[in-house]
Chains A and B, each alone.
Chain A
Amino acid sequence: MPVAKSAMPGGVPDAVIRSASLLALLLIWQLVALRVNDPLLPSPTAVLASLFHHLTAGELLHHLGVTLLRVAASFVIAMVVGVAVGVWMGRSKLANNLFDSLLVLMLNLPALVAAILCFIWIGLNETAAVIAVAINKIPTVITNIREGARALDQQLLQVGEVYRVPRITVLRRIVLPQLYPYIMASARSGLALIWKIVLVIELLGRSDGIGFQLGSFFQFFDLTSILAYTAAFAAVVFVIEALLLRPLDRKLNGWRA
């Protein structure tokens, strides 16, 4: 019977289920805001209107762009350095012994301390900001990738050795495919961590970007604008996840299906 079939969970598209919790949250928020009627709890519709205002009349796009560039730069640096050092530490006992204590120290270094040190030592500039963010992310990438490098299949590496496959091909064809799940996990958690830290660092030492704007709105208790900026950024993160990370994951891990 078609009616009973469409009512079953299997018949509902994934996208609907994925967005159901989000819609429920918005609905509850809207009802509570209407009931409380206080400027310190703006309703979703008010936030949406503010978002529209900032998009058209304000500088949201500029600040969003600046922040995204910082996120992208820090992300690329953290992933490249983290993967390289992680593979090295996973494959070489000497490297692991050399850097392990340093890694533990870096893992536990508070983001704020890294940011302050960078701004003081490097200066209140873009380089310092990007490095400060990358420093916070690199140790977690290293830890992840090191696990992956330790779990590499020796038997497959031996195939490369026996047939004298060039090092670069071994890396590309044998090593990296085994690291993809670890790299993807690092990329996902990395993006989330990095954009949180970028905002703190913009608040601390930059005069543009979303973090800087949030700081200004905070001084005026402009909660509506704060939430509008947050919503804009959250939307971008959703788009990156849906259009970039998930398809990439499917492509790289397709052979498992």
Chain B
Amino acid sequence: MSRLDVAIRAKRHAGAPADTLGELQFSAESGDFLAIVGPSGAGKTTLLKIIAGLDPAFDGAVSAGRDTRVGFVFQEPRLLPWLDVADNLRLVQPDLPDALIDAGLAKVGLPGTAHQLPLRLSGGMQRRVALLRAFLIKPELLLLDEPFISLDAPTADSLYDVLAALRADVMPTTLLVTHDLREALALADRVLFVSKSPARVILDHRVALPKPRHRDDDAVSQAHHELMSRHPELLGGLAAACPKPEAV
């Protein structure tokens, strides 16, 4: 539905002594699932905010505009604790009929929770609601800011399945930022490695493994191991030279 082109020359936060993002260029075809992997503090969240249009103060251009429908899933579920699940969903998509809400909740494995308050749900369940919220607006672009961090492996795996099921209907161009390479390999079609701040792309890696994948799949483990042994500098955040395209 929507191709994404990112061409950032630099981004410096007001008053900061150095750039957070350096020269950062990449594109994603419509419906692609791209993961951006880099060390903590590499400016990944800053990048997502720029792409989402939340931070116009940067040097460069991104193709997503004010009229792109953007779904955003944060590190924390960020549901409004005073609204029940249905009203939380209606916050982003008003006039949503009950039937659609119930169907959506059933799809993410939470049937019958429409009138529960978020604080009554477990952390994993709240994340399911947050994922559903992002898909209810039928996003052309889906931005995921480490939404599966700090979950145990089985919970994370089950959320990967929920994400895949939701994506199958809408097929948004998807951008996941994470510092967890296993997660990136389990979910994405392509992994971009970025350096420590100021972030630059240091490796563009295509993941050609069959789906669905999970964190502890042998194929994922093997790809993880190969990448780490071939590019030991990657997650140390040491900037290599130019991005080199590569296939497995």
Interface residues of A (CB under 8 A from B): 155-156, 158-163, 165, 169, 173-174, 177, 255
- Write the nearest CB–CB distance from A203 to chain B, whole angstroms: 43
From A160, A162, A173, B83 is in contact (CB under 8 Å) with: A173
Closest to B139 in A: A163
Q: How far is the CA of A163 from the CA of B119 in the complex (A)?
A: 22
Q: Which residues of B contact A160 (CB under 8 A)?
A: 91
A155 near B78: Cβ-Cβ < 8 Å: yes
Q: Which of B35-81 contact A (CB under 8 A)?
A: 52, 54, 70, 72, 74, 76, 78, 80-81
98-150 of chain B: CB within 8 A of chain A: 117, 119, 133, 137
**A residues in contact with B70, CB < 8 Å:** 162
Are B74 and A255 touching (Cβ within 8 A)?
A: no
Q: Are A255 and B81 in contact (CB under 8 A)?
A: yes
B82 near A255 with CB under 8 A, answer: yes
A162 to B55, CA, bound (A): 11
Report A-chain residues with C-beta under 8 Å of the C-beta of B119. Answer: 255
- The answer to whether residues A156 and B92 also contact, given A162-B52, A162-B72 and a CB cut-off of 8 A, is no
Interface size for B (C-beta < 8 A) is 19
- CB pair B74 A155 closer than 8 Å: yes
Return B229 CB to nearest CB of chain A, in Å.
Answer: 38
Closest to A162 in B: B72
Q: Is the CB of A163 within 8 A of B91?
A: yes
Q: Which residue of A lies closest to B81 (CB)?
A: A255
Complex CA–CA separation, A159 to B78 (angstroms): 7
- Selected contact of A174 from candidates B74, B80, B117, CB within 8 Å: B80
Residues of B within 8 A of A255 (CB): 81-82, 117, 119
What residues of chain B lie closer than 8 Å to A155, measured between beta carbons? 74, 76, 78
Given contacts A173-B91, A255-B117, A255-B119, contact A163 B137 (CB under 8 A): yes
Most buried by A among B70, B82, B91: B82
**C-alpha gap A177/B94 in the complex (Å):** 18
B12-35 contact mask (Cβ, 8 Å, vs A): 1 or 0? 000000000000000000000000
Q: Which residues of A contact B76 (CB under 8 A)?
A: 155
Residues in chain B near residue A169, CB distance under 8 A: 91, 94
Complex interface bits, B155-171 against A, C-beta within 8 A gives 1, otherwise 0: 00000000000000000
Distance in angstroms between the alpha carbons of A160 and B76 in the assembled complex? 15
List the B side residues contacting A158 at CB < 8 Å.
Answer: 54, 74, 78
A161 to B74, alpha carbons, bound, how many Å? 13
Determine how close the nearest CB of chain A comes to the CB of B47; give it in whole angstroms: 14
A162 with B54: CB separation less than 8 A: yes
Q: By the criterion CB–CB under 8 Å, are B82 and A177 in contact?
A: yes
Give the residue of B72, B81, B82 whose beta carbon is less than 8 angstroms from that of A163.
B72
Q: Which 8 A-B pairs have the closest CB atoms?
A: A163-B92, A162-B72, A255-B82, A177-B82, A159-B78, A255-B117, A155-B78, A162-B52
Measured in the bound complex, the distance between the Cα atoms of B133 and A26 in whole Å is: 59
Given the interface pairs A155-B74, A162-B52, A165-B92, the reply to whether A177 lies near B80 with Cβ below 8 Å is: yes
Cβ contact of A156, chosen from B54, B72, B80, B137, cutoff 8 A: B80
Contacts of B92 in A (CB 8 A): 163, 165
**Cα(A174)–Cα(B82), bound, Å:** 9
**Closest residue of B by beta carbon distance from A160:** B91
The closest CB in chain A to the CB of B48 belongs to A162
Given contacts A173-B80, A255-B82, 4 further A-B contacts (CB under 8 A): A159-B74, A162-B54, A163-B72, A163-B91
Shortest C-beta distance, A163 to chain B (Å), equals 4
Q: Considering only CB atoms, which chain B residue lies closest to A155 in the complex?
A: B78
